[in-house]
Every structure is written in C-alpha cells, then in structure tokens.
Amino acid sequence: MKNKAIIISLLGIALNIVVWCIYLFVNSGEMNMMVLLLTVPFGIVGAISGGFVERAFPKVMLMLVNILFTLSIVYPFIMWALMGPSILQNAM
C-alpha cells in the first residue's frame, strides 16, 4: 500500500507539471485558464495519497507539493493583481 501511495502522489505531481506546461506553452485563448482547473483534482488526490506514506519527511514533502499544486489555480490571478492595470493597457 505504501508503494502505491508514493506512486499515486508522484503521478499527481507529474500530471500537474503537464497541466502547467500546457497552460504556459500551448496558446489556445481563454481555454488556458480552464486547463488549470485540472490541478485541483490532481493535487487533492496526490495530497491524500501522500498522507498514506509511512516515513515522515516524504509524507510531508509529497503532501506539501501536491497542496501547492492544488492552490496553483490562483497564481495567475495573484500575478495579474500585482502587475496592476498596466498589463491590460499594454495588451490593447
């Protein structure tokens, strides 16, 4: 069971990396933000399965990385808020 938990958690991290690569490098207009919605279920499944790892350090690291990927849906909005309206004026 513990080996399966590690594999599932690492698979969640790998799938989140693939989703972020699609978001960053495949330009399809407004669909890019919809792709980031996939980080939520992948991250939640990875974090839950990371909780079943026996050793403390890998458990904490796998759960932390998967939770950060789960919350990564808000990263573009944070960047847009920090850049302010100037980025929208430059785009027009």
Q: What is the mean pLDDT, run by run of 10 residues, along the chain of 92 residues?
A: 86 92 75 80 92 91 93 82 66 51
Model-wide pTM > 0.85: no
Unique residue bearing structure tokens 């939520």? 40
